[in-house]
Amino acid sequence: MGGNMRRFAILAVVSSLVLAGCVTPYQPVPFDRTATPVTKIAVVDNTLPPEVGTQKMATNGENMMSAASSAGLAGLLVGAVAAGIEAGIEAGQRERIQKALATQNFNGEAIFDAALEEALKGQNYTVAPIAIPRTKARELVVIPANEAAEPGSAVLDTLGFNYGYQLVGNSTQWRPFVTLHVRMVDHKDPKKILLDNKITYNPVIKSDVTISIPVDEAFAFQKIDDLEADPAKAAEGLKAALQATAKATADLLR
C-alpha cells in the first residue's frame, strides 16, 4: 500500500518532468458532434507502420526518460526514443516476433481498418477509404482541400506511431502496445481541425489530456521463446490491442 502511494508520487514527478520538458503542452481538440454535424468520414489509408515493432524500456539501466525529454518529445514518444536507444539488442528480438506473427499471416493494418470501419458505422457514419500519400513516416498526412466535398464530410487520419510488443523492465513480460495520433479535419477546409487526440494502448505513463487503454492481461510472454512457441496467442493479443484502439478512436467521435 505504501509502495502504491510512493509509486503515485514518483509517477507524478515523471509526468511533471515530461511536461516541463516540452515547451507547449499538447492541446487536444475534442469533437462535438452536435455543434459539427459530420455524417461522412473518409479514412486515410495505410496508417500503421508497415512492420510490427517492439520497444524495450528500463531493461538495461539506460536513461530513456531524459533522452526523450531532451529530444523535445512528450510522454507518448518516450517509447519511440527508447526503442532507438536499445535498437542493437532489440533488433534480433523484433525480427523473431515479426517472424512468429508472420506464421499467422498477421496483418495489423487490415485488422485496425476493419475494426475502425465497423465502429464508425455503428455510430451511423458513412465510411470510405481515401488514399493520401504519407510523405513523412510518423507524421500526419497533409490533407488537400476538396472544394467539391459535401457539407458534413471529414477526413480522419489515424497515424500509428508504433505497435507491437513491449517489455518494460527486467521482471516484467512482453505485452502488446499501440500508440496512435488521431486527427479529423473538415474535407472542404482542412485547416478546420475537428478532432485531435492521442491514444495509447498499454501506456507506461498516462500522459495528461490524452486517452489510455489498459492492456488485456491475458496476453503476456515471459520470453521471446514463449512467444515463438505460441504465435497464435501472440497474434490474438496484438489483434485485441488494435481493435481496442480502433474502438477508442471511434468513441472520440460520439
Partner 1 sequence: MQKMRASLFVLSVSGLVSACSTTPPPPPPLAVSEITGKTCTDKPDLTKAIAMTPKRKAQWHSIATDVDAMSPCLNLEGKPSNYVLYTLPAAPSNHTLTIGGAYEVLRILGPLVSVLNADGQPIRTFTADRFANVGNTFGVQFRPSDDARFVLVQTNPQSAGVEVKAFETQLISQTNYSYNPYNYGSTAYTTQYGREGATVRKFSHEGVVSVTIQAVAGKIGLPNEK
- Is the CB of residue 149 less than 8 Å from the CB of residue 128? no
Nearest CB to partner 1, comparing residues 42 and 75: 75
Nearest CB to partner 1, comparing residues 101 and 195: 195
Nearest CB to partner 1, comparing residues 108 and 203: 203
State the minimum distance, in angstroms, from the CB of residue 13 to partner 1.
Answer: 7
State the minimum distance, in angstroms, from the CB of residue 80 to partner 1.
Answer: 13
Nearest CB to partner 1, comparing residues 43 and 57: 57
| Residue listed under C-alpha cell 526518460 | 65
CA 12/CA 79 separation, integer angstroms:
18
> Sign of the C-alpha dihedral, residues 198, 132, 51, 107?
positive
CA 175/CA 57 separation, integer angstroms:
12
Nearest CB to partner 1, comparing residues 107 and 212: 212
CA 66/CA 51 separation, integer angstroms:
27
State the minimum distance, in angstroms, from the CB of residue 29 to partner 1.
Answer: 7
Nearest CB to partner 1, comparing residues 4 and 105: 4
Nearest CB to partner 1, comparing residues 42 and 248: 248
State the minimum distance, in angstroms, from the CB of residue 113 to partner 1.
Answer: 22
State the minimum distance, in angstroms, from the CB of residue 36 to partner 1.
Answer: 11
CA 74/CA 140 separation, integer angstroms:
16
Distance of CA 251 to the CA centre of its chain: 15
Phi, psi of 154, deg, nearest 5: -135, 160
3 state DSSP class of 126: strand
Q: Which residues bind partner 1 (CB under 8 A)?
A: 1-2, 4-5, 7-8, 10-11, 13-15, 17, 25, 27-30, 32, 35, 57-59, 61-66, 78, 166-173, 175, 197, 202-217, 248, 251-252, 254
State the minimum distance, in angstroms, from the CB of residue 175 to partner 1.
Answer: 7
DSSP state of 188: S
State the minimum distance, in angstroms, from the CB of residue 107 to partner 1.
Answer: 25
- Is the CB of residue 184 less than 8 Å from the CB of residue 31? yes
Amino acid letter, 207: S
